[in-house]
Amino acid sequence: MKVLIVNKFLHPNGGSETYIFEVGKQLQKMGHQVEYFGMEHEGRVVSNRLDCYTGNMDFHTGKLQKLRYPFQILYSTEAAKKIQKVLDDFRPDVVHVNNFNFQLTPSILYAIRKYEKQTGRTVRIVYTAHDSQLVCPNHLMQRPSGELCQECLGQKQWNCTKHKCIHNSRVKSLLGSVEAKIYQHNHAYRMFDTVICPSHFLEEVLKTNPDLDGKTVTMHNFLNRQEIPETDKKKYVLYFGRYSEEKGVKTLLDVCRKLPQIPFVFAGKGPLEDEVTALPNVENRGFLSGKELYQTIAEASFVVFPSECYENCPFSVMEAQLYKTPVIASKIGGIAELLQDGKTGELFPVGDSSALQKRIEELWKDSKRLQTYTVNCEKVSFMSAETYCEKLLQIYGGLKA
């Protein structure tokens, strides 16, 4: 099978890129042909045979760029023309779209359907949704104040302008609302054959868009366990991830101050780093990755994941359990789908500092319960990349996974 993967970033840029590059590698291991289309970049790590990509667009710099911004995020003529060349050359059976808004735009979808008509070939378009972009103009379902919001669901995207949801800017939010309404009017997203959602939570959110009716399917993310040396548990509570408010770090730091007798380890980076470093019972190990991170997870007594934004399928919750470490996590988004409350960890009400403090303090003192959770984590398993791609191939073929 020939699979064209479309992602605006063709270099390592975040979790969505990690996901799609691993999918591409696994498909190639399974004997399928894979090419990529997106923006050119000096750090590009994947390619297509024509070396045909769009220019690298950064909307945060340049006056001319800012003037052209409203038009470029609605329809990219360059992206449409260049993907047409790649389609003509590669002749894919499937186009797997991963991250396309703003830079590539739905222009690529129209180009694929145009290619079908010109050639008489059938090309399935599969999209992996990593956020709520198809129903929420700022894709976070969260206002600049941090307040969670679902007012745009049900095609009520003018609420984005009302609350200035995009960068707290009336102009940018208006543009986001207009963009959403244009795509709604043109039924652009109806061109997807299947939309893969990494959580049941996100699937239910996307179902509020009638153009996606009957097209969604939930497939939790895959995760391959890396081999690390066997290790004994150490006496610390771990947070790993971004040091930012939406991840609940302020709430967690408030709890750390109230529990000076408990040692915490933080691994990551972000705008709240100074506050993390300032606490005497917090060891800031900075950004960790690979085996160093996995070792830190495996040695922790338990992990805290206090996110205050709509998480879909957070790798942190999965990785902790995969390395035999229980998790205390906020009950929001798709988190509860990954954690067995009372078996491999515990859930607490989002943003509730008192409840989080109680959960941490009680689990720290209750060695028997902690051991039970740890043993239960040893039984947890998640899909491997190979199993995930086997299901993906069924979707590519037009079947439900």
Q: Which residue has the higher pLDDT, 250 or 401?
A: 250
Highest CATH level, class, for 2-128+187-222+384-396: alpha beta
Higher-confidence residue of 71 and 97: namely 97
User: Sheet containing 33-37: which strands, arranged edge to edge?
Assistant: 33-37, 2-7, 94-99, 124-128, 194-197, 216-218
pLDDT band with cut points at 50, 70 and 90 for residue 67? very low
Q: How far apart are CA 360 and CA 19, in angstroms?
A: 32
- For residue 64, the model assigns a pLDDT of 38
E strands in 52-168: 94-99, 124-128
Residue 101 backbone phi and psi in degrees, to 5: -65, 150
Cα–Cα nearest to 7, from 21, 27, 28, 25: 21
Which helix (H) or strand (E) segment holds residue 216: the answer is strand 216-218
Question: What secondary structure letter does DSSP report for 190?
Answer: G
* 134-172: pLDDT as tens digits: 999 888 898 988 889 999 998 898 999 999 998 888 888
Residue 278 pLDDT > 90: yes
What pLDDT, on a 0 to 100 scale, did the predictor assign at position 206?
A: 95
How many percent of the chain have pLDDT more than 70?
95
**Domain range summary for the chain, segments of one domain joined by +:** 2-128+187-222+384-396, 139-182, 237-377
CATH superfamily of 237-377: Glycogen Phosphorylase B; (3.40.50.2000)
Cβ-based neighbours of 317, under 8 Å, separated by 6 or more = 305, 311, 327, 329, 335, 338, 339
| 2-128+187-222+384-396 and 237-377: identical CATH topology | yes
- Mean pLDDT taken over the chain: 92
pLDDT digits (tens, 9 = 90+) for 33-63: 999 999 999 999 999 999 999 987 654 444 4
Q: What is the tens place of the pLDDT at every residue in 244-266?
A: 999 999 999 999 999 999 999 99
Q: Evaluate if pTM is beyond 0.85.
A: yes
Confidence (pLDDT) at 401: 57
> How far apart, in whole angstroms, are the C-alpha atoms of residue 102 and residue 380?
38
Could you give the angle at the alpha carbon of 312 between the alpha carbons of 311 and 315, nearest 5°?
A: 85
